[in-house]
Chains A and B, each alone.
Chain A
Amino acid sequence: MAELMNIHIQGGRIIDPANNIDRVEDLYVANGNIIASGNAPDGFTADKIIDATNQIVCPGLVDLSARMREPGQEYKATLKSECAAAIAGGITTSCCPPDTTPIIDTPAMANMLTHRGREIGLTRILPLGALTRALGGETLSDMHALHRAGCVAFSNANNAITNTMVMRRAMEYASSFDLLLILHANDPWLSDIGCMHEGEISTRLGLAGIPEAAETVIVARDLALIEQTGVRAHFARLSSARSVDLIVQARKRGIKVTADVAMHHLYLTEYDVSDFNTLCRVIPPLRSERDKDRLRTAVAQGDIQAICSDHQPHERDAKLAAFSEAEPGISGLETLLPLGLKLVHEEVMDLSTLIASLSSGPAALLGIKAGSLGTGCLADICIFDPHEEWLLDSTKLLSKGHNTPFKHWPLKGRVNTTLLAGNIVYSRI
């Protein structure tokens, strides 16, 4: 790796929600860390000056869920291709769910992923450990060892834990070591063969629906267990208004629980599926307009603490199929920030709240040192032009997955420079 430079980021508007800062100020980076803001520290000479005039300087984004497809599905994407896409999207920390092949249920796998990530040196790869062995929902994984090998949290990916006792034991065990659980709320009996939200559109299209209760039943179950065990828990990718309500109520009772939403759930609804558009097949499914609005408000009000990309790149054929047969997921790394900024333009939330939900929010719930521009922090920095208008061309995505339903969407705001631990890892101009 190249020797670390002294970098002077000049004239940008610093938005640093973790420290409650929103002002135009210079930033100084040395030895991979942020060493000062405002005036240059004594004796500082810049090797590189980045002119950030009229641009926004914020913490590098922290993404709670990105499937890089490696190892196991390199025909869809590779760590190398997806790390490059992440960094172009301003994402400096990417959490990888454990459903790779092999599954991240051994320390060796966790180590391997972290090392591969470091070797590539673009975005920081944080593995999520499997909550149960082989994600089978029956035996607990070696959580403590996995944690020591770098797993920042534990999840059973999209595989349900149907045995309530196993879930209870997993929570009890994790709570012994203050480990974080990331939960995907889905009752597989209710989801059954469903492939989209159950409602008017599924009825019109004759597609098997996934009822809202498939999510709320498990949110309610898991909240009861979280309350009983006191585990640190987080609900990933909520899709329905009623789930948000359940979590808000639980937080009011003092239960420590957080939640995130995938960016596409803040824009798309069941109506986007109405011409069998397989690009809109996702898990959990896109729900009603009312659900979308509630999710937006929840982020704006801090009831949902993070927005993730839920990045799932696919090869073309994975989506060239009957709707029910198409593989679920959207390639989301490079649209995470621009779509987020659209929420600001639409006045759903202010810029600082958005940046918080993309950086300090997820960092805080993971308990990692990221998402802050405070002096002494690691220099993971994203610099973007909030004014640039552009059309998304899916064929120009750096991700190997071109599966985005947002192609041709007019977007405003684009990343110009990304720093990872003081290295300029991406520069558009």
Chain B
Amino acid sequence: MRPHLQYTDNGKLRHFLSIEGLQKETLQQILTTADKFTQFGQRDIKKLPLLRGHTVVNLFFENSSRTRTTFEIAAKRLSADVINLNPGTSSTSKGETLLDTVNILEAMHTDLFVIRHAKSGVAELIARHVPDHVHIINAGDGQHAHPTQAMLDMFTIRQYKGPFNELRVAIVGDILHSRVARSQIHALNTLGVHEIRVVAPNSLLPSQVERLGVHAYNDLKQGLEGVDVVMMLRLQKERMHNAYIPSEQEYFNLYGLTTESLAAAAEDAIIMHPGPINRGLEISSVVADGPRSVILPQVTNGIAVRMAVMAMVLGGEGNG
């Protein structure tokens, strides 16, 4: 088995499955490649011929309109042929049918699969079973990884806050169930930020989270003290039913980002959120729509970053 599943033998990015295991240079290449594509996005004619003749299949076993749409736009701007498939999760809980689906699509000469699945590890499972010329981009697997989201967040941080090495970043909310948080932590660590904090009650913090290279806080104000970037996470409303938190109200009182709690952060701190937002649960509207919020730029940046990853994986762009 290939020691580094995400790279080819000569060090080119082959699959994009998780930030963990990627080199700092690769992440920096994604950011600089995305810079170029951002400039194209501002032109009247936004198409580039880089991936002409390539077939990209968005294989979303779990629904997501936002991520799927930005992947679709990204692929189309690079002139690829794009097919969207939502096989649903019911018939594909067994591995055989999951791999069968991929085998069938691959027989139709697909070059790149963008995969989202509700179970952790599926992108990697598929990557291990496709032939060398087929590429996989992970668009979110279970609670494991969402690497393109993390990279668009890094792109946004760099855009607003400059170099990473002096920054203090707080990630607030349901870390336990969040693939976004896991990928953000790996990306921030790889890019060398000064400090990463995670803020949540212990019932929403995964076991031994400090081993990922973060400091854990139970108190929001302490966690936000002096940070330059606040990354909020979405809280699934049903978390109360499994006794993770007592009530929405108590959660918002303790962990909701409001003008008051934000006062602890640095004056010029930016606010991020991967969306969709639960207003009044994890963040107040005043903050979400306020001047320090970069939530909408995150979405815009998602297109350029996904173009960069696709181009690198498929076309050799940014691979020297």
Return chain A residues, CB-CB under 8 Å to B88: none
Question: Is A291 an interface residue when CB atoms closer than 8 A count as contact?
Answer: no
Do B125 and A200 touch (CB < 8 A)? no
**Scoring B residues 92 to 110 as 1 if CB is less than 8 Å from chain A, else 0, what string do you get?**
0111101100000000000
Known: A203-B208, A206-B143. A322 touches B182 (CB 8 A): no
Q: Which of B96, B119, B182 has the most CB of A within 10 A?
A: B119
Known: A206-B145, A276-B125, A317-B96. A325 touches B120 (CB 8 A): no
Do A206 and B179 touch (CB < 8 A)? yes
Do A207 and B207 touch (CB < 8 A)? no
Known: A206-B144, A276-B120. A321 touches B125 (CB 8 A): yes
Selected from A200, A276, A319, A322, the residue in CB contact (under 8 A) with B208 is A200
With an 8 Å Cβ cutoff, the count of chain B residues facing the other chain is: 27
Question: Is A204 an interface residue when CB atoms closer than 8 A count as contact?
Answer: yes
Question: Is B206 an interface residue when CB atoms closer than 8 A count as contact?
Answer: yes
Do A323 and B207 touch (CB < 8 A)? no
Do B96 and A207 touch (CB < 8 A)? no
Return chain B residues, CB-CB under 8 Å to A206: 120, 141-145, 179, 182
Do A276 and B121 touch (CB < 8 A)? yes
Question: Is B117 an interface residue when CB atoms closer than 8 A count as contact?
Answer: yes
Do B125 and A203 touch (CB < 8 A)? no
- Identify whether the interface residues of B are mostly helix, strand, loop, or mixed: mixed
Do B206 and A203 touch (CB < 8 A)? yes
Do A276 and B124 touch (CB < 8 A)? yes
Question: Is B122 an interface residue when CB atoms closer than 8 A count as contact?
Answer: yes
Known: A276-B125, A317-B95. A324 touches B208 (CB 8 A): no
Return chain B residues, CB-CB under 8 Å to A211: 207
Among residues 178 to 232 in chain B, which have CB atoms less than 8 Å away from a CB atom of chain A? 179, 182, 206-209, 211-212
Q: Which of A206, A207, A317 has the most CB of B within 10 A?
A: A206
Q: 18 A-B Cβ contacts within 8 A?
A: A205-B120, A205-B121, A206-B142, A207-B143, A207-B144, A209-B207, A211-B207, A276-B121, A317-B94, A317-B95, A320-B125, A321-B98, A321-B125, A322-B98, A322-B142, A324-B119, A325-B95, A326-B95
Chain A residues at the B interface, C-beta cutoff of 8 Å? 198-200, 202-209, 211, 275-276, 317, 319-326
Closest 7 CB pairs of A and B: A321-B95, A206-B143, A206-B144, A322-B119, A276-B121, A320-B95, A203-B206
Chain B residues at the A interface, C-beta cutoff of 8 Å? 20, 93-96, 98-99, 117, 119-122, 124-125, 141-145, 179, 182, 206-209, 211-212
